[in-house]
Amino acid sequence: MPLVSPFRTSFGTQTERDILLVKAVTGHAEGWGECVTLPDPIYSPEYTEGAVDVMKRFFIPAIAGVRDANGVGEALQHFKGHRMAKAVLEMAVLDAELRAEGRSFARELGGVHETVPCGVSVGIMDSVPQLLDAVGGYLDQGYVRIKLKIEPGWDVDVVRAVRERFGDDVLLQVDANTAYTLRDARHLAALDAFDLLLIEQPLEEEDIVGHADLAKIVQTPICLDESITSAQTAAAAIRLGATSIINIKPGRVGGYLEARRIHDLAAAAGVPVWCGGMVESGIGRAANIALASLPGFTLPGDVSASDRFYRTDITPPFVMEDGHLPVPTGPGLGVAPIPEVLEELTTAVEWLPV
């Protein structure tokens, strides 16, 4: 699926998304899952071909006889890692389970909102004027929060330019995708002047202690993303003072059921959460919107409209209205791929009986 424009972060530039979908076919319904791996292990240790391999060789045989999504997690828990591969299987089975029972993803997860606010992630660009034009366009479309990707050399001056052009009322945050070290602490503290919602994942994902030390130096709240891989790691980060806000990405934590556990844990600790994105198609977007409807998601997430990344989505497009997207209410995900669009974009299909 080609992107409407290149999306650059500190770890690389995407011009298209080669998406791995899983369809679970049961005796009662069909369910869809979307794997959020990238082609190369640059955002996380996982990558798409690796996810295919581990599912075929280990995970799919292991879930033979599993009857529901909870059973998927139980069957796969003794395998180490590969959370994104586990997540897509759980998602597909959960979608099929809920479709058969006539229940929605949002209802199953505990959603309480009919719509969710939309934030947009703005990548690193060739020039500040180009960035300002992009931010202005997103604000004109109605996005209620702007997230700027940053890296060394593209940070303080860029944020200053956005604040000077659009004012202090714009909800603004930054995302480093692990691009800094603790040696950059004083430099990152310069961002305190701009009243940001948060600084997302400034240091390496394993450097929890470093994030706790950084939180003592900068005033802007530290938000962890890549570091949060489970409810257990979330609890540890909160206890150490390494994070005061959490970005929950279901694929990164092993699925939507674990994402709900992290939400519940954070809510009990008084830590706000928001839903991150991985440039998903409408399949993953529908599930993320459902998750973002839970009560603890008090900050706008990266749940943008379909046309933020794709001219043509594989599902009916999600269209933003007044800065919000509607939470799907139909059975399961509430959406499914449009057959002719899916056929046009599909590059390979493999059926694996269980």
Of 154, 21, 179, give the one whose Cα is nearest residue 85.
21
> Does 249 participate in catalysis according to the annotation?
yes
Who's near 291: CB < 8 A, 6+ residues apart? 105, 109, 111, 248, 250, 256, 259, 260, 263, 275, 297
What SS3 state is found at 65?
coil
Who's near 57: CB < 8 A, 6+ residues apart? none
Of 196, 120, 126, give the one whose Cα is nearest residue 154.
126
> Does 86 participate in catalysis according to the annotation?
no
Give the distance from CA 39 to its chain's centroid. Answer: 17
Question: Can you name the residues that pair with 22 across neighbouring β-strands?
Answer: 33
Q: Which of 23, 80, 86, 249 is catalytic?
A: 249
The DSSP secondary structure of 201-239, one letter per residue, reads --S-TT-HHHHHHHHTT-SSPEEESTT--SHHHHHHHHH
Of 33, 51, 36, give the one whose Cα is nearest residue 91.
33
Q: Which of 86, 147, 149, 216 is catalytic?
A: 149
Euclidean distance between the first and final Cα of the chain, in Å? 29
Q: d(Cα 315, Cα 251) in Å, to the nearest integer?
A: 20
Containing 89, the helix (H) or strand (E) segment is helix 83-101
The DSSP call for residue 59 is: I
Q: d(Cα 316, Cα 3) in Å, to the nearest integer?
A: 17
Just list the catalytic residues.
149, 249
